[in-house]
C-alpha cells in the first residue's frame, strides 16, 4: 500500500509500524523526503495505508526518537535530517521527573545581563558587600591550624568545629541543638533535596505554600515528587487548607519558609507557627523549615524559628550562608532528630562523601572571630535603607490600588497589581525600560498566570531602587491603560 510517496511492504517481516518507519527512513536517506518536508497527518496516512492510527503514531514516534523527524504542536510532523554514517548522539529516554524538570527550566524567564539594567530579579547578595579580606584571613588561619589533614575527606556530617559553632548560634534563638544534630551541606538547596529524599519517594506528594520558592518546585520535579499547594497570605499559610492537605496519606511532609518568605517576604507570627506545628503533629507529618534568610532581620522583633517551638521532633531546619554572606562557599546545615537525622547522614554520605573541609573550617574560624556578626551588622543597616527606599518608591510610582508586602528583613518584596495581567507580559517592555523582575507565575506549582511579581533588593542600591521602580511603574501604567479594567480579587492577599 502507499500514500503518495509513503508506503510499506505488506509482506515484510516485523511489526507494521517498524516497516512504515523503515520506508520513511529510506526516503529521507535518499533525499526523496527532504529536510523540512511535512509528513501526512497521522489520521490521513492511517486511512490511506489501511492501518490503525496508533500504528502510524508509533512509526512517527520511532523516527522522532532517532532524531529524523520533529512534531510541532498545531502544525504537524516534519523531516529534520537524513541518516548517514555518523547519525550523532542517540536519543535516550529520560526519567519522567527529569522531563518535568526540563519543562520547568525551559519555562523560566531568561533575563538579560546587559549593563545598566536594574536587577530586581536576582536573589544573590551584592558582591560589593562581601567581606572578602576578613574571610581570606579566616581561611589562612584555618589552613595554618589544620595543615595537610584538612584536605582529606571529611566526616559525612561535616567539620565538627563548624557544627559546634552553628549549634551555639542556634541555641541563642531558642533551638536546642548540639553539634551531633547537624549535617552540613552545600547551602539550603542541597538541604532541600536531601530532606525531600528522606521523607518522600517518587510518586509521593509534599505540601508547599503557594506561591513558593521556585527551586523547590524544580527539585521536587527532578525527584518525581508532586507538590500540593497550600495558599499563602501575609499572615502565613492557610491552616485550614494545610489541615486538609496533611490529612491525605499520600502527602508525606510540608515545606515552608516562615521567616522572610520567598517570594512574598512575609513572616509567619508565633501563634500561627504554633498552630502549624499542632496541625503537623495531629497527622504525624514532618515539617521542612527553610530558614535561608533567618540572619537578615533588619527591623521588628525576632520570632522563634519553628525548630525552637517544636516539642515533638517534627521539624527539619535548613540554614544557609548563601544570602547572609555569599553563595560561593556553598555552606549550609540541616538540623534534625532521630531517624530523620540518621537518614540525612546516610544520604549525604551516599551523595557526595563529604563537603569542602577547608571551607567549612574557614567558616568556623570566621564565625568564632566575630567577623560574621560584624558583617551582619553592615548588611542589616544597608537592608533597612533599601527597604525604606523601595517602600517609598512603590507608593510613589506604582498605580493606585497596587499592594505590596513590607518585610522586616530579607531581600524580597511581593507586589500585586490592581488589574488582570500575566506579569510575564511586562518582562520585555520592562527590560527595554532598564529593569528586570521575577513574574509571579514563576512561583506557582503549575506555572499559571499571576498578576503579582517579586522585587529583590539584593544587588540594588537606593538610587537604583528608585530609578527601577519608576521605570517599572511606567511600564505597568502603559499596560494598564491598554487593559480592560480592574481585576478580580486575587487568591493571594497582602
The reply to whether 335 and 382 lie within a common domain is: no
- 23 is in which domain, residue-wise? 2-79
The reply to whether 343 and 388 lie within a common domain is: no
100 in a domain, yes or no? no
Coil, strand or helix at 435: strand
Q: Into how many domains does the chain fold?
A: 3
How much is the pLDDT for 163? 98
pTM: predicted TM-score of the whole model, two decimal places? 0.80
98 in a domain, yes or no? no
154 in a domain, yes or no? yes
87 in a domain, yes or no? no
The residue ranking higher by pLDDT, 488 or 460, is 460
Judge whether residue 18 has pLDDT over 80. Answer: yes
**Cell digits for 42?**
497521522
The reply to whether 206 and 252 lie within a common domain is: yes
Say if CB 217 and CB 227 are below 8 A apart.
Answer: yes
Distance CA 280, CA 274 (A): 10
CA-closest candidate to residue 164, choices 350, 361, 435: 361
Judge whether residue 113 has pLDDT over 60. Answer: no
Say if CB 445 and CB 305 are below 8 A apart.
Answer: no
CA-closest candidate to residue 173, choices 271, 255, 295: 295
The reply to whether 118 and 75 lie within a common domain is: no
CB-facing half-sphere around the CA of 410: CA atoms within 13 A: 28
How many residues belong to the chain?
494
How much is the pLDDT for 82? 46
Distance CA 235, CA 238 (A): 8
Quickly state the pLDDT bin for 11 (edges 50, 70, 90): confident
Q: Beta strand pairing status for 251-256 and 69-72?
A: unpaired
The reply to whether 176 and 325 lie within a common domain is: yes
Q: For position 401, which CATH number holds?
A: 3.90.1150.10
Q: With both helix axes pointing from N to C terminus, report the angle between 187-199 and 338-352 in degrees, rounded to the nearest 10.
A: 120
Judge whether residue 316 has pLDDT over 50. Answer: yes
The reply to whether 201 and 212 lie within a common domain is: yes
Write down which residue in 347, 372, 397 finishes a domain: 372
Say if CB 403 and CB 415 are below 8 A apart.
Answer: yes
How much is the pLDDT for 114? 54
How much is the pLDDT for 225? 96
The reply to whether 448 and 357 lie within a common domain is: no
Tens of pLDDT, residue by residue over 187-207, are: 999 999 999 999 999 999 999
Q: For position 62, which CATH number holds?
A: 1.10.10.10
185 in a domain, yes or no? yes
Distance CA 472, CA 453 (A): 11
The distance from CA 400 to its chain's CA centroid, rounded to whole angstroms, is 31
The reply to whether 252 and 197 lie within a common domain is: yes
**Cell digits for 386?**
533599601
Percent pLDDT > 70 in the chain is: 90
Write down which residue in 372, 395, 417 finishes a domain: 372
The reply to whether 178 and 321 lie within a common domain is: yes
The reply to whether 279 and 306 lie within a common domain is: yes
Using alpha carbons only, give the angle 353, 359, 363 rounded to the nearest 5 degrees: 125
Distance CA 262, CA 281 (A): 25
Tens of pLDDT, residue by residue over 41-99, are: 888 888 888 887 778 888 888 888 888 888 876 678 989 854 444 444 555 666 777 76
How much is the pLDDT for 81? 53
Distance CA 350, CA 484 (A): 55
The reply to whether 324 and 193 lie within a common domain is: yes
Say if CB 265 and CB 438 are below 8 A apart.
Answer: no
Per the DSSP assignment, residues forming a β-bridge with 2 are 7
Quickly state the pLDDT bin for 169 (edges 50, 70, 90): very high
Distance CA 255, CA 192 (A): 9
Say if CB 142 and CB 361 are below 8 A apart.
Answer: yes
92 in a domain, yes or no? no
What's the rounded mean pLDDT across residues 9-16?
78
95 in a domain, yes or no? no
75 in a domain, yes or no? yes
Distance CA 109, CA 104 (A): 10
Categorise residue 162: left if φ over 0, alpha if ψ from -120 to 50, beta otherwise: alpha
The reply to whether 312 and 440 lie within a common domain is: no
Tens of pLDDT, residue by residue over 319-368, are: 999 999 999 999 999 999 999 999 999 999 999 988 999 999 999 999 99
Write down which residue in 357, 372, 387 finishes a domain: 372
Torsion angle, alpha carbons of 215, 220, 224, 229, to 10: -120
Amino acid at each position: 500500500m502507499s500514500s503518495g510517496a509513503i508506503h510499506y511492504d505488506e509482506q515484510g517481516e516485523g511489526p507494521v509500524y517498524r516497516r512504515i518507519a523503515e520506508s520513511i527512513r529510506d526516503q529521507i536517506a535518499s533525499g526523496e523526503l527532504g529536510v523540512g518536508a511535512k509528513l501526512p497527518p497521522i489520521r490521513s496516512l492511517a486511512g490511506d495505508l489501511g492501518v490503525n492510527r496508533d500504528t502510524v503514531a508509533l512509526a512517527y514516534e520511532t523516527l522522532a526518537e532517532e532524531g529524523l523527524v520533529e512534531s510541532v504542536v498545531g502544525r504537524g510532523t516534519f523531516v529534520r535530517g537524513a541518516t548517514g554514517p555518523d547519525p550523532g548522539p542517540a536519543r535516550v529516554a529520560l526519567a519522567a521527573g527529569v522531563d518535568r524538570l526540563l519543562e520547568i527550566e525551559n519555562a523560566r524567564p531568561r533575563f538579560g545581563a546587559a549593563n545598566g539594567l536594574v536587577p530586581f530579579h536576582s536573589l544573590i547578595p551584592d558582591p560589593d558587600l562581601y567581606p572578602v579580606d576578613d574571610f581570606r584571613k579566616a581561611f589562612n588561619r584555618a589552613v595554618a591550624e589544620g595543615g595537610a589533614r584538612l584536605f582529606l575527606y571529611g566526616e559525612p556530617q561535616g567539620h565538627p568545629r563548624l557544627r559546634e559553632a552553628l549549634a551555639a548560634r542556634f541555641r541563642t534563638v531558642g533551638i536546642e541543638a548540639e553539634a551531633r544534630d547537624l549535617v552540613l551541606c552545600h547551602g539550603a538547596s542541597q538541604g532541600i533535596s536531601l530532606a525531600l529524599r528522606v521523607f518522600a519517594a517518587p510518586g509521593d506528594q509534599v505540601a508547599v505554600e503557594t506561591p513558593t520558592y521556585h527551586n523547590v518546585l524544580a527539585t521536587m520535579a527532578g525527584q518525581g515528587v508532586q507538590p500540593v499547594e497550600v495558599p499563602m497570605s501575609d499572615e502565613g499559610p492557610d491552616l485550614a487548607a494545610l489541615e486538609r492537605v496533611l490529612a491525605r496519606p499520600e502527602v508525606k511532609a510540608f515545606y515552608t519558609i516562615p521567616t522572610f518568605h520567598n517570594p512574598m517576604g512575609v513572616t509567619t507570627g508565633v501563634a500561627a507557627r504554633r498552630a502549624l506545628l499542632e496541625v503537623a503533629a495531629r497527622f504525624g507529618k514532618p515539617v521542612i523549615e527553610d530558614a535561608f534568610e533567618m540572619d537578615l532581620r533588619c527591623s521588628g522583633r525576632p520570632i522563634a524559628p519553628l525548630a525552637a517551638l517544636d516539642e515533638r521532633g517534627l521539624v527539619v531546619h535548613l540554614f544557609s550562608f548563601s544570602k547572609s554572606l555569599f553563595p560561593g562557599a556553598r555552606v549550609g546545615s540541616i538540623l534534625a532528630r532521630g531517624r530523620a537525622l540518621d537518614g540525612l547522614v546516610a544520604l549525604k554520605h551516599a551523595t557526595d562523601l563529604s563537603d569542602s573541609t577547608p571551607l567549612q573550617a574557614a567558616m568556623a574560624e570566621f564565625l568564632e572571630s566575630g567577623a560574621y556578626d560584624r558583617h551582619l551588622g553592615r548588611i542589616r543597616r544597608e537592608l533597612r535603607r533599601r527597604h525604606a527606599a523601595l517602600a517609598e518608591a512603590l507608593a510613589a510610582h506604582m498605580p493606585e490600588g497596587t499592594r505590596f508586602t513590607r518585610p522586616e528583613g530579607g531581600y524580597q518584596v511581593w507586589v500585586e497589581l490592581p488589574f488582570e495581567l500575566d506579569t510575564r507580559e511586562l518582562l520585555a517592555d520592562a527590560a527595554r525600560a532598564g529593569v528586570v523582575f521575577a513574574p509571579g507565575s514563576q512561583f506557582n506549582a503549575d506555572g499559571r498566570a499571576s498578576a503579582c511579581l517579586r522585587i529583590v533588593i539584593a544587588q540594588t542600591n537606593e538610587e537604583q531602587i528608585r530609578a527601577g521602580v519608576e521605570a517599572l511603574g511606567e511600564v505597568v501604567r502603559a499596560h494598564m491603560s491598554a487593559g480592560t479594567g480592574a481585576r478580580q480579587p486575587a487568591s493571594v492577599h497582602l
